[in-house]
Amino acid sequence: MISFIDKAVLQFDRALQTLVPHAAKANRSSPADKLKEAELDQSDRKHSSGLMRINHTGEVCAQALYAGQATTAKLAKVRQEMEHAADEEIDHLVWCEQRLYDLGSKPSILNPLFYGASFMIGAGAGLISDRLSLGFVAATEDQVCIHLEKHMATLPMQDEKSKAVLTQMHIDEAKHKAMALEAGGYEFPQPIMAIMTQVSKVMTSTTYRI
């Protein structure tokens, strides 16, 4: 019983850290820090903000997914890897959040909703099996990499700060994907990946705006 309460408190703390502005702290400094802020006109600024808002929500989902999986993972080793990966995603979350504020914008108001949904998906996958759970991480990271590539290609040219953040994230996410497959995750078949792409479209098309 005590351990259940401990777990619940930890989970609540993690959710708050993810959802409350400025609550999370990064381990690594942002790749954007050493670059100069560019002059962006209103439409460029709006576009950069929209893309960074999508990426920020993606990191909110990653936190929730890993947290959900860590609660139900059967093998201690898998649980540890989930927790380690979630720590790395905190950096991404903080970098994206910082970038959003620097652009004069803010995170999506839909984040609590996406956190809840992703937590359930993660916990559900973990309940079924560790290999499914790890496969889900690999598939998700794969989707994130595709988004990041698209975003890097369509960011306003002058916005080097946002681009630096996305470049480092892309390196980390590709590493997370490889880690999950190496740990025994299933490689999802194409039809499942196509469904995941459709689901992620719901997130990207809403959070670009709000």
Binding site for Fe ion (CB under 5 A): 89, 92, 173, 176
Cβ proximity to Fe ion: between 137 and 155 the closer is: 137
Answer yes or no: is 170 a known binding residue. no
Going by C-alpha positions, the residue among 124, 127, 128, 142 that lies closest to residue 180 is 142
CB of 117 to Fe ion, least distance (A): 17
Going by C-alpha positions, the residue among 196, 88, 183, 191 that lies closest to residue 142 is 196
CA distance 130 to 126: 6
CB of 142 to Fe ion, least distance (A): 10
Cβ proximity to Fe ion: between 123 and 165 the closer is: 165
CA distance 110 to 116: 10
Answer yes or no: is 92 a known binding residue. yes
Cβ proximity to Fe ion: between 9 and 171 the closer is: 171
Answer yes or no: is 187 a known binding residue. no
Cβ atoms < 10 Å from Cβ of 2? 6
E-strand ranges in the chain read none
CB of 144 to Fe ion, least distance (A): 6
Cβ proximity to Fe ion: between 89 and 142 the closer is: 89
Tokens 């400025």 belong to residue:
22
CB of 92 to Fe ion, least distance (A): 4
Answer yes or no: is 176 a known binding residue. yes
Cβ proximity to Fe ion: between 40 and 62 the closer is: 62
For 54, the token pair is 């999508």
Going by C-alpha positions, the residue among 87, 111, 92 that lies closest to residue 20 is 111
CB of 201 to Fe ion, least distance (A): 19
Answer yes or no: is 81 a known binding residue. no
CA distance 202 to 200: 5
Binding residues for Fe cation: 59, 89, 92, 141, 173, 176
Binding residues: 59, 89, 92, 141, 173, 176
